[in-house]
Amino acid sequence: MPSTYTNLGIEKIGTGEQSGVWGTTTNTNFDILDNAVSGVAAVTLTGDVTLSLSDGATTDAGNFVLKFTSSLSSSVTVTIGPNDTEKVYVIQNATSHDVVISQGSGSNVTVGASTFKLIYCDGGGSSANVVDISLGNPGGFIWQSIVTSATTMVSGRGYFVNTASSAITMTLPGSPSLGDIIRIIDLGSANTNNITVARNSEKIMGSAADMTIDTNNAGLGLVYTDSTFGWRLLEV
């Protein structure tokens, strides 16, 4: 009876197989398990890439934590393969742009620059989905230094905006996922110099139009739903 393989690529030695050499296979299986539970793979990104698990072998995709590094000039897509493998990952995006995690034609998850996310690849074949299962940042939002110029926002971050010198455009994250949240707080000059919240091709409150903040000291949060309803006010 030949060997078979589990979802993670662990080899199940067939009865009577690998006599005298099964120790090598067993040690590799332990390495695969160790990586799946606590392994960290540092992956330098230069463009779109596919990371795949492989039967009976250790791979970057077999690790629990994927840490992406590099100074990118634009967002990139990382595809997890095979598309029929179920797996949970912690993603650390240590690059300068968004990293989109994909597995099939279903939903993707965008991990903003300098952020973490916990994701689930459902292994649904060609239509596989990647789902954000993060429970939120344990310490709350990551609040950024005071903004004084046009900025493209990242999900999970809050922005103090100072328009004392001029109006500022704050652009919503590209390729948002269900539950992505941003927050903006004006530091006292929005009535004179407005804050424009640029929709970045998505709707805001169901409307295909940018939002204007023109009240001094206003604060608001926006949460993303889907392409039909877009970004919705979380609080004002």
pLDDT (tens digit, 9 = 90+) per residue, 134-148? Answer: 765 544 567 888 999
- Looking at the structure, do residues 48 and 107 belong to the same domain, yes or no? yes
pLDDT value, residue 138: 44
Question: Quick check: is 19 in a domain?
Answer: no
Vertex 50: Cα angle to 55 and 38 (nearest 5): 60
Q: Which domain holds residue 54?
A: 36-132
Q: Which long-range contacts (CB under 8 A, 24 or more apart) does 197-201 make?
A: 197/170, 197/171, 197/172, 197/222, 198/169, 198/170, 198/171, 198/172, 199/172, 199/230, 199/231, 200/152, 200/171, 200/172, 200/173, 200/174, 201/174
Overall pTM surpassing 0.75 (yes/no): no
- Looking at the structure, do residues 95 and 175 belong to the same domain, yes or no? no
- Looking at the structure, do residues 110 and 159 belong to the same domain, yes or no? no
Question: Quick check: is 13 in a domain?
Answer: no
pLDDT at 101 over 90: yes
- Looking at the structure, do residues 125 and 150 belong to the same domain, yes or no? no
pLDDT value, residue 136: 54
**Overall number of domains in the chain:** 2
Q: How confident is the model at residue 236 (pLDDT cuts 50, 70, 90)?
A: low
Enumerate the β-bridge partners of residue 89: 119
Q: Which of 79-88, 138-147, 163-172 is predicted least confidently?
A: 138-147
